[in-house]
Amino acid sequence: MKILASAVRQYLQDVLGLPTPETKPWVRANELPYFLRDAFQFSELELLGQPVVLAMARGEQRQSLSEVRTWLEKVRALSGQPAVYVTEALASYERKRLIEQKVPFIVPGNQLYLPDLGLDLREYFRQRPPAAEAALSPSAQALLIAALLHQPWQAEWQPSSMGSTLGYTAMTLSRVVKELTAAGLAAQYTVGRSRWLRMEHPPQEIWERARPVLRTPVKRTVWVLPDGAARREARLAGLSALARHSMLTEPKWPVYALGTFDWKAAVDAGIRELPEPVAGAHQWQLWSYSPALLPGAATVDPLSLILSLQDNADDRIQIALDELKEQLPW
């Protein structure tokens, strides 16, 4: 339970960008029926000036969602303040049902939904001021994502080897190393004359630590009538890619991503922007780095896809992103 409580605090601090006070035992927990105290450990903390009760699910016990909703209402009635369901994992359909029923919940490192505070994770991300931390450059972000998704996972990797496949120069790779080490995402060491990076945490933790300095790779979108040659250089992106990884319906207009070089080549070959979509049109996303970080894949990589859609307010898209997150290699 201490680990889960600590994960909640760290997650709230990472997401909200605010210092979160220590959790403390909820003093009125002993007034609850035994079955509730057996199912949850109760703690209390103050969040954005509002005291809330955390109902942290115990170990192996699994509660039905209808039970969770009923039990939280009992806790709320006793406490007079929001009661939040905290668990280590929820399936995407469970999150959807909880959101539909407006049941507050926190899955540390994954999702936060607190309707009692007029706040959900996506809304707060859209409204909060820009983070003080400087964003990684597109090249540093691309190499970090490529390293995190490399299979099998390698905690130690050589930037020159990985960067060469993306066409980065030695000068660019030198800047990448400085950025990743300055951000605390990797440690540098040398073997002979070769420069290496070591990630000292598991890939999921590195990803969560990096989120504040990562940005959408999409610079802008255009409408085009593509020819076959240009489309061969593109990767499915946006809602088209998300539909491949979830139950989301395919969008009306196919979405593809191209890097700067491929877009220039397409324009040189005669591709022109359309003022609006017409029959047979595609939406092309122009990316700040190569959308082909995973060799041989039909779609863009899942981490860049998440970054490109994380601020979309459509609940269907956010639920589909939850499905995608469950498929990540960690």
Answer yes or no: is 32 within a domain: yes
Write down which residue in 94, 127, 160 finishes a domain: 127
Q: Residue 55 corresponds to which amino acid? A: A
**Three-state secondary-structure class, residue 295:** coil
Residues 33 and 119 in one domain: yes
Write down which residue in 195, 213, 231 finishes a domain: 213
Residues 112 and 7 in one domain: yes
pLDDT band at 15 (very low <50, low <70, confident <90, very high): confident
Cα separation of 215 and 323, whole Å? Answer: 21
Buried b (16+ CB within 10 A) or exposed e, 27-36: eebeebeeeb
Residues 227 and 190 in one domain: no
8-17, 88-97, 133-142, 230-239: which has the highest mean pLDDT?
133-142
**Three-state secondary-structure class, residue 284:** strand
Residues 113 and 17 in one domain: yes
Residues 269 and 244 in one domain: yes
Q: How many CB atoms lie within 10 A of CB 127?
A: 8
Bridge partners, 196 (sequence order): 189
Residues 31 and 104 in one domain: yes
DSSP per-residue letters across 118-143: TEEHHHHHHHSPPPSSPPPPHHHHHH
In this structure, are residues 291 and 234 in contact, taking their beta carbons and an 8 Å threshold? Answer: yes
Residues 18 and 99 in one domain: yes
Answer yes or no: is 142 within a domain: yes
Q: Residue 19 corresponds to which amino acid? A: P
Answer yes or no: is 133 within a domain: no
pLDDT digits (tens, 9 = 90+) for 296-311: 899 999 999 999 998 8
- Residue 244: what pLDDT? 96
Q: How many CB atoms lie within 10 A of CB 268?
A: 8
Answer yes or no: is 116 within a domain: yes
Closest to 179 measured CA to CA, from 130, 217, 132, 142? 142
Describe the strand order of the beta sheet including 255-258 as a list of residue ranges. 235-236, 255-258, 282-287, 218-224, 273-274
| φ, ψ of residue 87 in degrees (nearest 5) | -145, 160
pLDDT digits (tens, 9 = 90+) for 199-250: 999 999 999 889 989 999 999 999 999 876 555 668 999 999 999 999 999 9
Domain total in the chain: 3
Residues 250 and 264 in one domain: yes
Q: Residue 47 corresponds to which amino acid? A: L
Provide the pairing of β-strand 119-120 with 282-287.
Answer: unpaired
Domain of residue 222, residue span: 218-325
Q: What is the sign, positive or negative, of the torsion defined by CA atoms of 143, 147, 151, 156?
A: positive
Residue 205 CB-half CA count within 13 A: 10
Provide the pairing of β-strand 255-258 with 282-287.
Answer: parallel
- Residue 153: what pLDDT? 92
Residues 46 and 90 in one domain: yes
Answer yes or no: is 132 within a domain: no
Answer yes or no: is 77 within a domain: yes
Describe the strand order of the beta sheet including 194-198 as a list of residue ranges. 156-157, 194-198, 187-191
Answer yes or no: is 330 within a domain: no
With a CB cutoff of 8 Å and minimum separation 6, the contacts of 326 are 91, 92
Report the pLDDT averaged over residues 17-22: 70
Percent over 70 (pLDDT), the chain: 90
Write down which residue in 157, 181, 213 finishes a domain: 213
Answer yes or no: is 301 within a domain: yes
Cα separation of 32 and 37, whole Å? Answer: 7
Report the pLDDT averaged over residues 284-298: 94
Residues 48 and 88 in one domain: yes
- Residue 59: what pLDDT? 64
Long-range contacts of 196-202 (CB under 8 A, 24+ apart): 196/156, 196/157, 196/158, 196/159, 197/147, 197/156, 197/157, 197/158, 197/159, 198/155, 198/156, 199/147, 199/155, 199/156, 199/157, 200/155, 202/330
In this structure, are residues 303 and 148 in contact, taking their beta carbons and an 8 Å threshold? Answer: yes
Residues 226 and 301 in one domain: yes
Residues 229 and 206 in one domain: no
pLDDT digits (tens, 9 = 90+) for 156-204: 999 999 998 888 999 999 999 999 999 999 999 999 888 999 999 999 9
> How does the average pLDDT of the chain come out, rounded?
87
